[in-house]
Amino acid sequence: NWILGSLKQTTLTSTIPGDTKVRTTALEYTAQGLLSKETQEPTRPNDCLQTSYGYDAFGNRTSVSAAACSGASGNTVLSAATARSSTDNFGTDGRFALTSTNALSQGETKTYDSRFGTLATLTGPNSLSTSWQVDSFGRRTRETRADGTYTLWTYQLCTQAGAACPTTVGPASVVWVVSEQGYAVNGAVASTQKRQYYDSLNRVVRVQTQGFDGAGVAAPTLIQDTEYNAKGQVARQSAWYASTGTPVWTSYSYDALGRTSTESRPDSAAAGGTATTSYAYNGLSTTVANAKSQTKTSVKNAWGQIASVTDAQGNTITYQYDALGNLTQTNAAGSVTSLQYDLRGRKVAM
């Protein structure tokens, strides 16, 4: 049988000034065109790794087995006899992975809500189970843990009775709220209630929870508010404050590319009571200046990796990488650390 267009081998050459790395992978397939074996570095026994795959009648991947190739040597050779294998069983209908076993033969069993594909129960290798319930929209409403404690979630529109929503948070109208509450086995409240309020764009505009005075006595409710600009970016966010108090804010501004330009937060020790951190971008260079005008400049290379960092004292650390992106050297004022890797990207010397 012919399966046209199946990739049999890839050779990837990565080159940067002063370094070139070549990686090779060979591929084999079943009669149905599913990947059955993947061999990394097939011509280099000590770097070679064979990964084999098995499937059920539905095409679900049911087994993965990794082993060293013939001729490999070293202190810890992963031979075919000691291959690391994992399995999944998808049941008679092939929809969901019902049981899974890892390379240590530790298994877990799952059941699902067939309406949404969400987990209904999970039993781990220690035979302890957790179960979940969802509503008609597939949203989690209950989690029951192995010790019998549980958490409930409720979802309410602010127009529903008992929702107790604020009308607005800043410029945003509050539309719906999610409440989360933990309970003990006997049904007694076991944790503070957490409420998250959302606007019409499904953004969290307020988080609210119960505060305590440090002696176990309930104190005023604690609140954190978030406001957004016209582009949906966070314009300002309050620190946690008591419902009887006044919020203090950290404000943000952005450049035309959506990058943070300034971050201003309350600070009684700063001039004007506000400490501002600014961000300046110049090509691959980013300079961060704090409220004391102390700066840190980071420069990235063309691949997005940090090439150097210069602190407020003018001290610079440089970084070098190989063709595969592995960090090979750091240099801090002449204090050099070098690292070496094999072709598979594993660190072999430092």
Q: How far is CA 154 from CA 104, 163, 178, in A?
A: 39, 10, 6
Determine the Cα–Cα distance for residues 28 and 225; give it in Å rounded to an integer: 55
Cα separations (Å) of 213 from 96, 183, 222, 272?
Answer: 48, 21, 11, 31
C-alpha 34 chain-centroid distance? 29
CA angle 48, 49, 53 (to 5 degrees): 150
Mean residue pLDDT of the chain comes to: 93
Query: Is this prediction's pTM over 0.85?
Result: yes
How would you class 336 by CB atoms within 10 Å of its CB: exposed for 0-12, middle for 13-18, buried for 19 or more? exposed
Residue-wise pLDDT for 112-150, tens only, equals 999 999 999 999 999 999 999 999 999 999 999 999 999
Residue type, 228: Y
Q: Is the pLDDT of residue 270 over 70?
A: yes
Confidence of residue 100 (pLDDT cuts 50, 70, 90): very high
Q: What is the mean pLDDT of residues 8-31?
A: 95
State the sign of the Cα–Cα–Cα–Cα dihedral 240, 238, 189, 147: negative
| pLDDT recorded at residue 336 | 97
Question: What tens digit of pLDDT does each residue of 42-95 get?
Answer: 999 888 999 999 999 999 999 999 998 887 776 555 555 578 999 999 999 999
Computed on alpha carbons and rounded to an integer, the radius of gyration of the chain in Å comes to 28
Listed by start position, the domains of the chain span 1-93
The mean pLDDT of 296-303, rounded to a whole number, is 96
- Give the model confidence (pLDDT) of 204-224 as tens digits: 999 999 887 766 666 789 999
**Spatial distance between the Cα atoms of 111 and 121, rounded to a whole number of angstroms:** 5
Question: Are the CB atoms for 270 and 277 separated by under 8 Å?
Answer: no
